[in-house]
Amino acid sequence: MSNEKVARVLYEIADLLEIKGVEFKPVAYRRAARNIEELDKDIEEYLKEGRLREIPGVGEAIAKKISEIIESGELNYLKELREELPAGLLQLIEVPEIGPRTVMRLYKELKITNLHELKRAAEEHRIRRLKGFGDRSEEIILKGISLLEHRTGRMLLGYAYFYGKAIVDYMIAAGGYSLISTAGSLRRMKETIGDIDILVGSDEPEKVMRVFVENPRVSEVIAKGDTKSSVRLEEGVQVDIRVVSTDSYGAALQYFTGSKEHNISLRSLAIEKGLKINEYGVFKKDANERIAGRTEEEVYAALGLEMMPPEIRENRGEIKASIEHRLPTLVELGDIKGDFHVHSTMSDGGATVEEIAQDAVKRGYEYIGITDHSESLKVARGVAKEDLKRNIEKVREISEKTGGIRVLMGAEVEIRNDGILDYPDSILKDLDFTVGAVHSGFKMSEKDMTERIVTAMSNDYLTILAHPTGRVLEQREPHQVDVDTIIDTASEKGVFLELNALPERLDLNDLNCRKAKEKGVTIAIGTDAHSLAQLNYMMFGVATGRRGWLEKSSILNTRSLKEVERSLGI
């Protein structure tokens, strides 16, 4: 029974209780579920060791339910809840603008139990007859259903980032705003983004609203108020904007950056200190006197906290770390001195080694690693053994010719099903470094996959394990592998773990990066670029590392060329 499965049961209970109108319990169940999802150990171990109640948010009642879930595979309490309410109601709360209260009313008064019935009721104008509903309500419901039917899921950070930047740039050009930023999960650089949030500090809010909705890329204005508006772009992306007065900008930026969990903790801390915090500032609770709000630093300082980077505001210990003055000094893009995962025209990349080398010089890199695919990955024009030797010579020549940078010759070598690498050691020894990767045979059991990867890591020539969990966001689940064992093996054998910076991978993810760091494993960030433009993905790798609390010292490519040569033994 995985942590995710246990969490899913608790989430379902929360949803059902919420529809029933039960207060406070849904929040409690969700909190427990979220903390279980983020545990770095198997929940069954907690059960075995009798330590369930050490998990934040898990008390006597939930601990008992978790035991039942793990031991019997099901939960009577959930069964009973499900019997009380039709299963389709859970779909209904997914419809935007429909919440638990509305679901219950529609069920009680119109016997609506699923999406299909809701759609029909709206089309037949039966909903507008209910007290508190009108024709607009029906329109909104129908639009919500349509959106749900066509939803594309969450957007990858790699796309959202550029949409957000385009909107901000437009606002700056069209309105000359200087206090403007993305906020929300985009500013925290989460791997996937729901809506894009923008914040502006201005004392002419109505003008900001006008400029915002008049952006030619806007296809639909969802809501337009005095200080808050929402639009949809032609691409289907929802963008929300808020305006606050210039002297509240810091408080608002803090507030709208979140995360929600981070803010809730901050509020509790404020209450303990006799303060109140909202998007307008920090106030003394009794006197209602404002003591901070112009900048984020001010807001945190008013709570006795050091300023913390947006990427770690997830309520994962950053507030405690801030109180104790042990916040990490996170890695920055400017610390990066090279890239360890780049494909060239020698396999399926779009740029030649010369072009890549020159581009890397422009980026100020000291080194760049070429890692074309190995022989058996035919779909990616994997390089045959005979050709590899010639390629090595060629890359050495280019490296010597290109001033100011060393081009490191590597390869992204297939890890076969038995854990053996796709090139023999006699060839690997001539490379500067070797990146091992799983690109096939995903459906192995966790035990077999873990063994396969550990075997590969035991090869002395394996330098970096590429995209260790194999996930492809919104497309493919990570393969079944015991990440803890991989991290321990990396620590023991001195293998570097990759943080693959492709927006659809970002693998290792933030939580695993943090785990690896705690075990003393060094991370190598690689863009996996297949074109010069994709070398820019380094920023998303760095962002994900920052979310995983990574500092410069835990990352291979912050080291100078000399140090890297020493690390690689070349």
Where on the chain is the footprint of DNA (CB under 7 A)?
23-25, 27-29, 31-32, 53, 56-63, 95-103, 128, 131-137, 140, 184, 194-195, 197, 223-228, 238, 240, 256, 260, 263-264, 267-268, 271-272, 274, 276-280
Q: DSSP letters of 295-359?
A: SHHHHHHHTT-----GGGTTTSSHHHHHHTT----B--GGG--EEEEE--TTTT-SS-HHHHHHH
Containing H/E element for 409?
strand 406-414
Cβ atoms of 183 and 198 within 8 Å: the answer is: yes
Question: For DNA, which is the closer residue by CB, 103 or 351?
Answer: 103
Gap between the Cα atoms of 6 and 71, Å rounded: 11
Counting every residue written for the chain, the total comes to 570
Q: Minimum Å distance from CB 401 to DNA? A: 52
List the structure tokens of 293. 């709000």
**C-alpha to C-alpha distance for 38 and 45, rounded to whole angstroms:** 14
Q: What are 239's two structure tokens?
A: 């963008």
Of residues 198 and 568, the one with the C-beta less far from DNA = 198
Closer of 101 and 362 to DNA (Cβ): 101
Nearer to DNA, 46 or 549 (CB): 46
Please state the closest distance from residue 28 (CB atom) to DNA, in A: 4
DSSP string, 367-401: EEEEEEEBTT-GGGTPBPHHHHHHHHHHHHHHHHH
- Angle of helix 538-547 relative to helix 510-518, nearest 10 degrees, comes to 60
Closest distance to DNA from the beta carbon of 129 (Å): 9
In whole angstroms, the minimum distance from the beta carbon of 506 to DNA comes to 22
CA 80 to chain centre: 35
CB 422 within 8 A of CB 375: yes
Report, in Å, the least distance between residue 56 CB and DNA. 5
Residue closer to DNA, measured from CB, 202 or 489: 202
Q: What's the closest the beta carbon of residue 462 comes to DNA, in angstroms?
A: 43
Instruction: Please report where in the chains the tokens 């066509």 appear, as a residue.
Output: 150
Cα–Cα distance for residue pair 192/126, rounded to 1 Å: 38
Question: Least Å distance between CB 73 and DNA?
Answer: 20
Nearer Cβ to DNA, position 204 or 400?
A: 204
The CB-of-132 to DNA minimum distance in angstroms stands at: 2
Nearer Cβ to DNA (53/493): 53
In one letter, which amino acid is 549?
W
Spatial contact of 503 and 155, defined as CB atoms under 8 Å apart: no
The SS3 call for residue 294 is: coil
Closest to DNA by CB, 138 or 339: 138
Instruction: Calculate the alpha carbon distances from 36 to 5, 7, 30, 173, 379 in Å.
Output: 10, 6, 10, 45, 39
CB of residue 97 vs DNA: minimum separation in angstroms? Answer: 5
Residue 15 vs 412, nearer CB to DNA: 15
Closest CB to DNA among residues 99, 424? 99
CB of 378 to DNA, least distance (A): 45
In the chain, helix, strand, coil percent, each to 5? 50, 15, 35
Cα 116 from Cα 145, distance rounded (Å): 9
Q: How far is the CB of 142 from DNA (least distance, A)?
A: 13
Q: Which positions ≥6 away from 403 have C-beta within 8 Å? A: 361
Closer residue to DNA in complex, CB, 240/507:
240
Reading the block at residue 248, the tokens are 């509240």
